[in-house]
Structure 1
Amino acid sequence: MIKVTRFNGTELTLNATLIEMVEGTPDTVITLVTNKKIVVKEPVDEVVRLITEYYKSIGLIGLQVRQNAG
């Protein structure tokens, strides 16, 4: 889960695995896999950093796949 801020100042916690796209238009718009769009104060780079940190914390980034040598 990541915490972001709506423009009215309220904090929102999103399930990062449901985020399909983050775009700057120039406001940051997060589109979920449900096609719901959320506009937040954080810049795109910050949202991407939060998502990456979340994925690392649950082990989705940084895993190495081992192949059998034989």
Structure 2
Amino acid sequence: MAKLMCLCFIILAIAVAVSADECEGDRQAMIKECAKYQQWPANPKLDPSDACCAVWQKANIPCLCAG
């Protein structure tokens, strides 16, 4: 039983680490692809690129908001 509990704990720890890496990857991709569209001052306003929109569509928003 102790081995099973240990295995469950290890799997949970790996899942949390993978999730954190995915979230950081989303954050870095947003910075890379979208930074020039959100700089101040906002004039001239530029439409975001297709790459920026794709990053937002694929991002794990709840993870980004929690971090």
Q: TM-score, normalised by structure 1?
A: 0.28
Q: Which has the higher strand share?
A: 1
- Structure number with greater CO (CA < 8 Å, separation at least 6) is 2
